[in-house]
Structure formats: C-alpha cells, structure tokens
Amino acid sequence: MDSKADRIERGQPTQCTHQYIATMTSLPYGDPSSFARLLIGCIILLFIYGGNQTLHALQTEKPASDNRESEDSPISTDDPSSKTVVNPDEPEVAEKQTINAETQQTELIKDVLLIVGASGTPEYESDFLKCEKLWRDLATTSGARYHVIGLDESKQQTQPTTNSAVNDLAALQQKIEGMSGGGDNPLWIVLIGHGTYTRGVAKFNLRGPDVSAEELKSQLDKVTRPTIVLNFSSSSGPFINAISGENRVVVTATKSGEEQNYSRFGGFFTESILDPTADLDHDDQVSVLEAFLAASARTRAYYDSENRIMTEHALLDDNGDQLGTPSNFFRGIRATKKTKAGTIPDGRRSSRQTLSKPQDSLTLSPAQRAERDRYEIALDEITQRREILSEQEYLEELEAVLVPLSTIYEQGSNLKIRVIGDQTE
C-alpha cells in the first residue's frame, strides 16, 4: 500500500482530503452560506492536490534564488518582479499567449428578442409600451443586442394601420431562425401581451396569426444556444409543458391555460429585474430566478391589497422536466422540495442567468463560465443522489467535480497564491 507521502507526491487524495470533502459537502442544502463555503473549500482543495506542500495564501514575495514562477503558480500582473521573462517565439509560449488572449473576453454577448402582442385596447397598449421601454433600456445598459417585434416603430404603437397586412408570426419565426446559433451566448425571448387557451391549445396573441406553444417549440428546437423564454401572457402555463428542455429557462405568468384573466406578473417581473432589492444573494445583479421570486411576491401583494382572488400563479422551469415550480417551493434562492422524479430541482440554471454584466472579481471567459456552471449543476446532482451512493462512490464523484471546479476559480482569481512547506495531516 502506498504511503501518505507517496500519494501526496503523485497528487492523489489522502485521508485528510476525504475528510475535508465530507465535511464541506455535509452542509445543509438550502443554507445560503453553504454553497459559498463549499466554493471557498474548492480553492483549498486545489492546493491539497498540489503535491508535498501546505497552503500559505497571499504570500507574494519570492526567494531570491527562484528566478522563475512554476507552471502552476498564477502570476500577478501588478508586480513587475513576479513576471517571467520568456521567448515569445517558443511554440509553447505562443500557444499560451493565444489561450490568454481568448480568455480576455469575460462577457457573454446576449440577444434580447422582445415580442409585443396585439393589445386590443389603448389601456393595455399603454402597459405594453411601458414594459417594452423598460426592456429596451435594460438591454442598452447591459450591452445586449436588442430586437423587437410587434411595434410600429414610427408611431410606437402595437396596432397596425387599417390597410397594413402585418404578420408578426412570420417575423418571429425568421428572427429566431436567424439567432439559432451563438455558442454559449444566451438568447432572451420576452413575450408581452395576451394569451388564449381553446380546445387544449395555448396561444400568444400576435398581430396577424397567433403563435401556439407547439409552434414556438418547433422554432426553439433549432436553437442550440442557452435560451430564456419569459411568457408574461394569460393562459401561458402550457408553454412550459411544450418548450421546456435542456439548457433552457422558461417562466410563465400562469400555471395553466385556464387562468385566462389579464396577467400583471409580467409588469412586476420587469420592475423586479431592474430593482436592486430583488438581489437575494447580494451579488449586485438580479437573476431570472430572483426576479421571478420578487415578481411572484409582488403579484400576491397586489391581489391582497385589492381584496381580490388571485387568478395567476407563475411557474419557473429550468431542469427540463416540463413541470415548472411555483415560488412557494423556494427558501431564498434554493428549492426546498424534491421533484417526484428525483431530478435536480428548478432554480439552478435560472439563478445564473442575468442581463447584468458580471460583477464578481473573477476574470473568466464565456467558455469558462459555462464550464463552471456545468460543474456546479453536476455538484447539485451528486448531492441529490447522496442517499443512494456509497461513501466511496460519493467521495469519488465529488473529487471528479470539485478539483476541476476549483481550478477554474483559481484561474479566474486575481489573487497570487504561493505554496510552500510540507503537507501534513
């Protein structure tokens, strides 16, 4: 059997590593501080795997005899003395420079496609136009590319002139097809308007032919990029059953097609995504999940204040199970109830989707952020299966996720960490 020193030398886990993982992952699911503590632990775990060494953070001084940084040590760009002099003509150096140049793009290029439906009356038209302006301003502020369907741009109105032959359905299909690609860059589709539900078919009302849930699904099936669909219309619930899928977030204003009264959830959602008080995890940006939770609370408060029966119950789906989750299933930003199928609860993907620019101190490329999200989702899935895994299987699966996850965070960190000394249990 290998000695502890042999295992450390090869970067293999020791008993203290397993004990550390078990401790960090035994934190209660739903505790707001648990995930943050786990990620901090990931960084420490990275250096446990670093070899015959002990972590000593934030030490930037370098021994005089050491005239070169190790390949694994991050270089502080603020300290000229810490830079390594290299020959840029060397193949390995040129390759690293190319990789570094690629990772300088730290922001995703987002597209916002807003569809304003047929209003029917001046009162609703005013509400729709107000909501559209807020989304336009948000897209401009966040640097997203903004596209709108359903407005007469010259008059800023939702109703076509008497002699106009308007077909917004064709325009919608063309737009989605044109934006189907895009890698990891998210596509936001926001529907503001009325909906109908007749003979089991849910539709969103457009100028000209309406679009059904199945027709929208047919178009979205061609989209390969992450997609966020926000349907703020009445009778929108069946859209979750139709368009829910992998790498997709869907929010509807109602839980079924039978909730046919005018929905106010969309207005509250739009206000919430712009409201800093909706930021539950205090990361200086409001995610889809946070806006959903805030808007649901404001919708309930509206009906209570009007002493009216609540006729709309919003749902969110981001795990692809086509079911949706109401806001009362969440405590903070964590779902507190398990799904019947045992799948990962809704909320994980939507908590990562925001129109705000990244506010954290990490300098990650879009590809790195997408990879980080995948590892964090995998971590949740492992946690969900903890009861059916043996301790050894559980620890091995955690190692396979935590080590690369901590590497991503280390690569995106601006801290310079020096590792010295001997590893001891």
pLDDT at 109: 83
Most confident of 15-24, 32-41, 196-205, 334-343: 196-205
pLDDT in tens, 332-376: 888 877 767 666 788 888 988 998 765 555 667 777 777 877 887
Q: Is the pLDDT of residue 384 over 90?
A: no
Q: Is the pLDDT of residue 65 over 80?
A: no
Residues 318 and 226 sit within 8 Å (Cβ to Cβ)? no
318 burial (CB, 10 Å; 0-12 / 13-18 / 19+) is: buried
Residue 381: pLDDT band by 50, 70, 90 thresholds? confident
Measure the CA–CA gap between 133 and 129, rounded to whole angstroms. Answer: 6
pLDDT in tens, 224-233: 999 999 999 9
pLDDT in tens, 406-425: 888 777 765 544 444 444 34
| Angle, CA 289 vertex, CA 283 and CA 293 arms, to 5° | 105
Q: Mean pLDDT of all residues in the chain?
A: 75
101 Cβ contact partners less than 8 Å away, ≥ 6 residues apart:
none
Domain assignments of the chain as residue spans, ordered by start: 4-77+359-420, 111-335
Q: Is the pLDDT of residue 4 over 50?
A: no
Q: What is the mean pLDDT of residues 160-175?
A: 75
- The secondary structure of 43-76 as a DSSP string is HHHHHHTTSS-EEETT-----TT--S--TTSPPP
Among 77, 61, 69, smallest CA distance to 413 is for 77
Q: What is the mean pLDDT of residues 212-229?
A: 94
For residue 162, the 8-state DSSP code is T
Residue 28: pLDDT band by 50, 70, 90 thresholds? very low
163 burial (CB, 10 Å; 0-12 / 13-18 / 19+) is: exposed
HSE (side-chain half, CA atoms, 13 Å) at 308: 11
CATH topology of domain 111-335: Rossmann fold (3.40.50)
pLDDT at 158: 52
- The secondary structure of 73-132 as a DSSP string is SPPPTT-GGGPPP--TTSHHHHHHHHHHHHTT--S---EEEEEEPP--SHHHHHHHHHHH
Measure the CA–CA gap between 78 and 85, rounded to whole angstroms. Answer: 15
Most confident of 34-38, 115-119, 379-383: 115-119
Neighbours of 217 (CB within 10 A): 15
Cα 304 to chain centroid distance, Å, stands at 32
Q: Is the pLDDT of residue 273 over 50?
A: yes
pLDDT in tens, 126-140: 999 999 999 999 999
pLDDT in tens, 235-251: 999 999 999 998 899 99
Residues 130 and 124 sit within 8 Å (Cβ to Cβ)? no
pLDDT at 99: 38
Residue 266: pLDDT band by 50, 70, 90 thresholds? very high
Measure the CA–CA gap between 165 and 160, rounded to whole angstroms. Answer: 8
Q: What is the mean pLDDT of residues 257-277?
A: 95
The two structure tokens encoding residue 6? 């042999």
Measure the CA–CA gap between 83 and 91, rounded to whole angstroms. Answer: 19
Residues 82 and 416 sit within 8 Å (Cβ to Cβ)? yes
